Structure 1
Amino acid sequence: MSYKLTLVASSVVLALSPSLHAQDDFSVFDEVVVSGTRSEQSIKNIPSSVSKVSSEDIEQNLSTDIKQALKYEPGVQVNGQGRFGMEDFTVRGMSGSRVKVLVDGVEQPSSYNPGADVMRKNANTFEVDTLTAIEVNKGPTSTLYGSDALGGTVLMRTKNPEDLLGAGDDTHVGLKTGYASANDEYKATVEVANRTGDLDTMLIYTYRDGNETETHGDGADILGPERGAADPYKIESHNILAKVFYQINAAHRIGVTGEYYTRDAKGDILSGEGRDGGMPGYIYTNVHGKDKDNRYRLGFEHEWQADFTAFETLGWSLNWTESESEHNSFDHTEAKGNRNRARSGKDESLQFDLQMQKAIELATSRHEFTYGATASNDKFKLSYTDYNLDTGVSTPGSEEVPSSESEQRAVFVQDQMFFMDDRMVVTAGLRYDDYKATPDSSSGLEQHNSDALTSRLGAVYHWNNNLSTYAQYSEGFRSPTIYEMYYDKDNSMFGYRIEANPDLKPEESQSYEVGIRANNHLGSVELAVFYNDYKNFISSKTTMDGSVEVTRNENIGKARIYGSEFKGSLWLDEAFGAPMGSYARLSMAYLDGEDRETGNTLDTIAPFTTVVGVGYDAPSDAWGTALTVTAVAAKDEWEEADNLKAPSYTVVDLTGYYRPTQDLTLRAGLFNAFDEKYWQYQDLEGATASTQGIDRRTQPGRNWGINLDYAF
Structure 2
Amino acid sequence: MNKQLTLIASSLIMAFSSPSLFAQDSVSQFDEIVVSGTRTEESIKNIPASVAKVTSEQMNKNLATDVKQALKYEPGVSVNGNGRFGMEDITIRGMKGSRVKVLVDGVEQPASYNPGADAMRKNSNNYEIDTLKAIEVNKGPTSTLYGSDALGGTVIMRTKNPEDLLNGESSHVGLKSGYASADDQYKLGVEAAKQIGDLETMIIYTYRNGHETDAYDTHDNSKGVTRKSADPLNIESHNVLAKAFYQINNANRIGFTGEYYTRSANGDILSRDGYSVMPGFTYTKTRGVDEDNRKRFGFEHEWLANNAVFDSLKWQVNWQQQHSQHDNYDHTDMFGNRNRYREGEDTSKQFDIQFAKAIELTQSRHKLTYGATIVNDEFDLNYIDYNVDNGTSKPGPTEVPKAKSEKRGVFIQDQIFMLNDKAVVTAGARYDEFEAKPDSNSGLEDHKSEAFTARLGAVYHWNDNFSTYAQYSQGFRAPTLYEMYYDKNNIAHGYIIKSNPNLKPEESNSYELGLRAENRIGNVTASVYYNDYSNFIQKVTTNSNNIDITTNENIDKARIYGAELSVNVWLDEIINAPMGTYAKVSVAYIDGEDKQTGKTLDTIAPLTSVVGVGYDAPNEAWGTALDVKMVAAKDNWQDKSNLNVAGYTVVDLTTYYHPVKNMTVRAGLFNALDKEYWQYQDLAGTNQTTDGIDRRSQPGRNFGINLNYDF
Asked if TM exceeds 0.5, the reply is yes
Equivalent residue, structure 2, for 1:587: 586
String of CA shifts for 1:153-188, please: whole Å, max 9, x gaps: 000000001111133x51011100000000000001
Secondary structure in 2 matching 1:28: coil
Report the CA distance between 1:11 and its aligned residue.
3.4
| Alignment partners' CA distance in 1, 2:531 and 2:290 | 39
Letter in 1 for 2:234: K
Cα deviation digits, residues 666-703 of structure 1 (max 9, x gap) = 00000000111111001110111235211111111110
Match of 2:616 in 1: 617
Per-residue Cα deviation, 1:263-301 (whole angstroms, up to 9, x for no partner): 0110110001100023x3211100001000010000000
2:657 is the counterpart of 1:649: no
SS at match of 2:704: strand
2:470: which partner in 1? 471
* Residue 163 of structure 1: aligned partner: 164
- The answer to whether the 8 Å contact 2:191/2:205 transfers is yes
Q: 2:234 aligned with 1:234, yes or no?
A: yes
Shift of 1:17: 1.2
Match of 2:16 in 1: 15
1:37-81, CA deviations, whole angstroms, 9 ceiling, x for partnerless residues?
A: 001100000000001000000000000000000000000000000
CA distance in 2, matches of 1:6, 1:507: 36
Decide whether the 8 Å contact of 2:218 with 2:230 is kept in 1. no
Question: How far, CA to CA, are the matches of 2:706 and 2:12 in structure 1?
Answer: 33
1:218 is displaced (CA, Å) by: 6.6
1:449-598 to 2 correspondence within 5 Å? 449-598=448-597
- For 1:14 and 1:34, how far apart are their aligned partners in 2? 31
Give CA-to-partner distance per residue, 1:369-423, whole Å, 9 cap, x none: 0000000110000000001111000110000000000011110000000000000
1:122 corresponds to which letter in structure 2?
Answer: N
What pairs up with 1:287-302 in 2 under 5 angstroms? 287-302=286-301
Corresponding position of 2:328: 329
Show the 5 A alignment for 1:162-561: 162-167=163-168, 170-217=170-217, 220-278=220-278, 280-561=279-560
> C-alpha distance in 1, partners of 2:96/2:239?
26
Over 3 Å counting, the alpha-carbon distance change for 1:253 and 1:525 in structure 2 is same
Deviations 1:521-561 (A, max 9, x none): 10000000000000000010111021111111100100000
Q: 1:7 offset after TM fit, Å?
A: 8.8
Alpha-carbon distance between aligned partners in 1 of 2:24 and 2:552, rounded to the nearest angstrom: 57
Which letter maps to 1:454?
Answer: T
Letter in 1 for 2:47: I
Q: Is the 8 A contact 1:202 1:243 kept in 2?
A: yes
Q: Does the aligned pair in 1 maintain the 2:657–2:665 contact within 8 Å?
A: yes
* Equivalence for 1:79: 80
Question: CA shift at 1:442, angstroms?
Answer: 0.6
- Give, in whole Å, the separation in 2 of the partners of 1:217 and 1:177: 28
Secondary structure, counterpart of 2:351 in structure 1: strand
Task: Give distance in 2, aligned partners of 1:10 and 1:605.
Answer: 26
Counterpart AA for 1:55: S
Q: Is the 8 A contact 1:219 1:227 kept in 2?
A: no
* Alignment match, 2:142: 141
Report the Cα offset of residue 32 of structure 1. Answer: 0.4
State the distance in 2 between where 1:99 and 1:147 align: 9
Matched residue SS, 1:636: coil
Q: Shift of residue 339 of structure 1?
A: 0.5
The answer to whether the 8 Å contact 2:26/2:520 transfers is: no
SS in 1 for 2:677: coil
Amino acid in the other structure paired with 2:249: N
Shift of 1:620: 1.1
Q: Indicate the SS of the match to 2:658.
A: strand
| Counterparts of residues 635-674 of structure 1 (less than 5 Å) | 635-674=634-673
SS of residue paired to 1:162: helix
Q: Distance in 2 between matches of 1:77 and 1:121?
A: 19
Amino acid paired to 1:459: A
Q: RMSD in angstroms over aligned alpha carbons?
A: 1.3
- CA-CA distance at 1:6 after TM superposition: 12
The amino acid across from 2:58 in the alignment is D
Fraction of identical pairs, as percent: 64
Query: What is the alpha-carbon distance in structure 1 between the residues aligned to residue 318 and residue 491 of structure 2?
Result: 43
Which range moves more in the overlay, 657-666 or 457-466?
657-666
Is the CA contact (8 Å cut-off) linking 2:217 and 2:695 kept in structure 1?
no
Contact 1:14–1:524 at 8 Å: present in 2 too? no
Q: Which amino acid aligns with 1:209?
A: N
Q: Distance in 1 between matches of 2:546 and 2:218?
A: 44
The code of the aligned residue for 2:52 comes to S
C-alpha distance in structure 2 between counterparts of 1:211 and 1:483, whole Å: 31
Residue identity in the other structure for 1:23: Q
Q: Which amino acid aligns with 1:558?
A: K
3-state SS, counterpart of residue 282 of structure 2: coil
Residues 19/320 of structure 1: CA separation in 2 closer, same or farther (3 Å cut):
same
1:24 Cα offset (Å): 2.5
Q: For 1:31, give the aligned amino acid.
A: E
| AA in 1 matched with 2:602 | D
- Distance in 1 (CA, whole Å) between partners of 2:684 and 2:554 is 22
Local SS of the residue matching 2:325:
strand
Using the alignment, how far apart are the partners of 2:338 and 2:610 within structure 1?
48
Letter of the aligned partner of 2:131 in structure 1?
T
**Residues 2-39 of structure 1, C-alpha deviations (whole Å, 9 max, x = no match):** xx999978733442111122113411110000100001
Question: How far is 1:635 from its partner?
Answer: 0.7
* Matched residue SS, 2:213: coil
Aligned residue for 1:277, secondary structure, equals strand
2: CA distance between counterparts of 1:490 and 1:406?
25
Give the 3-state SS of the residue equivalent to 2:552 in structure 1: strand
Counterpart in 1 of 2:600?
601
Matched position secondary structure for 1:19: helix
Distance (whole Å) between structure 2 residues aligned to residue 38 and residue 636 of structure 1: 39
Moved >6 Å (runs of 4+): 4-10
2 CA distance for matches of 1:437 and 1:662? 56
Does the CA contact (< 8 Å) of 1:121 and 1:325 recur in 2?
Answer: yes
TM superposition shift of 1:219: 7.4
Contact 2:617 2:623 in 1 (8 A): yes
Deviation at residue 572 of structure 1 after TM alignment: 0.1
- Deviations, residues 457-486 of structure 1 (Å, cap 9, x unaligned): 000000111000000000000000000000
Report if the CA contact (8 A) 2:213-2:230 is conserved: yes
Which residue number corresponds to residue 629 of structure 2? Answer: 630
Is the 8 Å Cα contact of residues 14 and 523 (structure 1) preserved in structure 2? no
Are the aligned partners of 1:219 and 1:695 in contact in 2 as well (CA < 8 Å)?
A: no
Letter in 1 for 2:13: V
Post-superposition offset of 1:304: 0.1
CA distance in 2, matches of 1:189, 1:534: 44
Aligned to 2:107: 106
- Aligned pair count reads 707
Contact 1:627 1:655 in 2 (8 A): yes
The CA distance in 2 between the partners of 1:19 and 1:463, in whole Å, is 14
- What TM-score does the superposition give when structure 1 sets the normalisation length? 0.98
Cα distance in 1, alignment partners of residues 290 and 690 from structure 2: 26
Letter in 2 for 1:292: E
8 A Cα contact 1:215 1:700, kept in partner:
yes
Amino acid aligned to 2:666: R
In 1, the alpha carbon distance for the partners of 2:506 and 2:556 equals: 9
Q: Larger deviation: 543-552 or 457-466?
A: 543-552
Q: CA deviation at 1:217?
A: 2.1
